[in-house]
Structure 1
């Protein structure tokens, strides 16, 4: 498995943006989530994946935000996780869908 570094930002509604750099290329995912979540940021996030072919087209995930970490488990085996810059209390379970772009 390969690991990439990046960051994740959640606004205060139902949108999350993930951005990771892999071999000089930025991979971004903007996802719509439910239920709505509080704002959060993780500036030191990791993405674990088998190959960049997993980071194309649409993606669905389930995950948790808070209190100190986030973790999103994608249907295709990709995992994004990291420590939140500030705690999110109470922790919240979410699900989301989005599209990976370069």
Structure 2
């Protein structure tokens, strides 16, 4: 997963819910040095009895924000959505020679 174009990651999930598996896996895919490189990571864990769906909000370097309902998505779908925009930014960066 391309994370160098992410600036802000906000995730809300119930760690005890089976529907939050994508949220837990997404958090595990963020590299350990992401915060030192400028990424803001905010994880809010809901109580065990909460029925609120898992949610992911991602902000990219170009200002685009993406909100995903993780309770209805598999981790491959989430990665595909995030990587799609990241690849576009990588292509633009490559064309500009940065």
Q: TM-score, normalised by structure 1?
A: 0.28
Which protein has the bigger helix share? 2
Q: TM-score, normalised by structure 2?
A: 0.29
Higher Rg: 2
The structure with higher relative contact order (CA 8 Å, sep 6+) is: 2
